[in-house]
């Protein structure tokens, strides 16, 4: 079913290209055609549910950011992944799908918060997880895993308690589970236990 969908879609929209995928059908769509394409997806191809909005940071590449959308057809029971490169690497933007899918609202806010992609036309593009004044986007590749030292969001609390936002102590982390074997032996542990907060991470 999914393969025939691809043929139909490509026949109708000549700017689509098939995207390499390990599971479901995936297509690349240029950012300026996204609204037109998704409207047709919803109204004519039965992809009536927007499951997820996220993004990929390709770090040194250009285009650096790719917005990812997962659609589900509740009648055909198939998924479709749509990927759309952000034209600008410095101030990445994508059109907002809020008018098409109500689910896009919070998802796009989350992606904006953590990846810093602006969704043009979003009715309320505010941070959703981090506080409003937070200057960074934590899921970007250049953001350190433990975080960055910044002032506490509440100025009066910071003044009274002298507390600030500190990088989280990693103690050789991140802590990962090997995932196979009995649970007693797959407790999450640091891959590189040669360093701690007291003993600096060796530089190579």
Partner 1 sequence: MDQKTVAYDSKVEGEVIVTQADAVINWIRKNSVWPMPMGLACCAIELMAAGGSRFDMARFGMEVMRFSPRQADCMIVAGTVTYKMAEVVRRIYEQMAEPKWVVAMGACASTGGMYRSYATMQGVDRIVPVDVYVSGCPPRPEALLDAMIKLQDKIGRESAVKNLTARKANGATPAPEMAGVGKDS
Which positions lie near partner 1, rule CB under 8 A?
129-131, 138, 143, 145-148, 152-154, 157, 160-171, 173-175, 188
Q: Which is nearer to partner 1, 39 or 164 (CB)?
A: 164
Q: Is 146 exposed, middle or buried (0-12, 13-18, 19+ CB in 10 A)?
A: middle
Ramachandran angles phi, psi of 34, nearest 5°: -60, -45
**Minimum distance between the CB of residue 104 and partner 1, rounded to whole angstroms?**
23
Considering only CA atoms, which of 130, 102, 100, 98 is closest in space to residue 116? 130
Beta strand spans in 21-165 (E): 25-28, 49-57, 65-73, 78-85, 93-95, 118-120, 150-151, 164-165
- Smallest gap from Cβ 92 to partner 1, in A, equals 20
Nearer to partner 1, 6 or 128 (CB): 128
Query: At its nearest, how many Å lie between partner 1 and the CB of residue 113?
Result: 11
Q: Which is nearer to partner 1, 62 or 184 (CB)?
A: 184
Cβ proximity to partner 1, 76 vs 127, nearer residue = 127
Structure tokens at 135: 């200057």
Secondary structure class of 189 (helix, strand, coil)? strand
CB of 165 to partner 1, least distance (A): 5
């Amino acid at each position: 079913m999914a393969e025939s969908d691809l043929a139909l879609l490509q026949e109708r929209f000549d700017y689509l290209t098939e995207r390499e995928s390990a599971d479901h059908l995936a297509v690349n769509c240029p950012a300026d055609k996204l609204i037109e394409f998704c409207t047709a997806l919803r109204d004519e191809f039965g992809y009536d549910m927007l499951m997820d909005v996220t993004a990929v940071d390709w770090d040194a590449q250009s285009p650096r950011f790719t917005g990812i959308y997962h659609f589900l057809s509740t009648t055909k029971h198939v998924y479709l992944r749509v990927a759309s490169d952000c034209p600008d690497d410095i101030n990445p933007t994508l059109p907002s799908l809020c008018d098409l899918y109500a689910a896009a609202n919070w998802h796009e806010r989350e992606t904006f918060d953590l990846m810093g992609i602006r969704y043009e036309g979003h009715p309320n593009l505010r941070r959703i997880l981090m506080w409003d004044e937070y200057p960074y986007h934590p899921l970007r590749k250049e953001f350190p895993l433990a975080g960055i030292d910044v002032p506490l969001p509440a100025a009066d609390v910071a003044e009274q308690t002298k507390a600030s936002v500190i990088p989280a102590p990693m103690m050789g982390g991140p802590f990962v589970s090997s995932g196979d074997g009995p649970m007693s032996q797959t407790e999450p542990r640091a891959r590189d236990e040669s360093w701690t907060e007291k003993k600096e991470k060796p530089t190579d």
